[in-house]
């Protein structure tokens, strides 16, 4: 199997990918379930603690609307990109670190710290998360190389 080199992303795409976590933080600060859900593609997915698996933008919107009125009321979320790799034109994998801050907290408590993987695809000039098919098997998906030769996965897993 041969791989095609990934074209260098535009500065605008790099900035847009880096802004995805900030769009989430801003939507959370405003308790805006619609803006939060807009970060997700129509068929985007969100996996949260306690076996919460949401499989569409609408499921994310409804869940967050209830959460902002209930257990997430008065909370803030923090998130920043740790790494980003463009896998193809308009497609990026982003690793973030953050978590939920309870009222009065300035740092994320270890039990609420989150590292997340986001598969982003450019849609309508915005990068949005897309669905990762998950069937309740492994708790965290993993990438497995198939075939021979250098591939995009090799570039993704290369040390920096």
Whether the predicted pLDDT of 138 surpasses 80: no
Give the residue from 123, 137, 128, 115 showing the smallest Cα distance to 56.
128
Q: What is the pLDDT of residues 92-117, one digit of tens each?
A: 999 999 999 999 999 998 888 888 88
More confident residue, 125 or 153: 125
Mean pLDDT, the chain, as a whole number?
85
Q: Which domains does the chain have, with CATH numbers?
A: 11-157 (3.10.450.50)
With a pLDDT cut of 70, the percent of the chain lying above it is: 80
pLDDT of residue 145: 58
Q: What is the pLDDT of residues 6-21, one digit of tens each?
A: 788 999 999 999 999 9
| DSSP string across 90-154 | TEEEEEEEEEEEPTT-SS--GGGEEEEEEEEEEETTEEEE------SSSSS------SSS--HHH
Local confidence band at 65 (pLDDT 50, 70, 90 cut-offs): very high
- The structure's pTM equals 0.78
pLDDT of residue 135: 46
């Amino acid at each position: 199997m041969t791989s095609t080199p990934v074209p260098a992303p535009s500065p605008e795409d790099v900035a847009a990918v880096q802004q995805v976590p900030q769009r989430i933080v801003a939507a959370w600060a405003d308790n805006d379930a619609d803006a939060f859900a807009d970060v997700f593609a129509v068929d985007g997915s969100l996996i949260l603690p306690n076996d919460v698996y949401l499989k569409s933008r609408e499921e994310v919107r409804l869940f967050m609307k209830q959460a902002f009125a209930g257990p997430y009321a008065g909370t803030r979320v923090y998130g920043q990109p740790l790494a980003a790799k463009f896998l193809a034109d308009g497609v990026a994998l982003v690793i973030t670190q953050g978590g939920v801050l309870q009222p009065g907290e300035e740092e994320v408590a270890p039990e609420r710290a989150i590292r997340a993987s986001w598969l982003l695809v450019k849609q309508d000039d915005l990068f949005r998360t897309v669905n990762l098919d998950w069937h309740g098997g492994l708790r965290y998906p993993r990438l497995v190389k198939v075939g021979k030769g250098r591939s995009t996965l090799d570039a993704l897993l290369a040390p920096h």
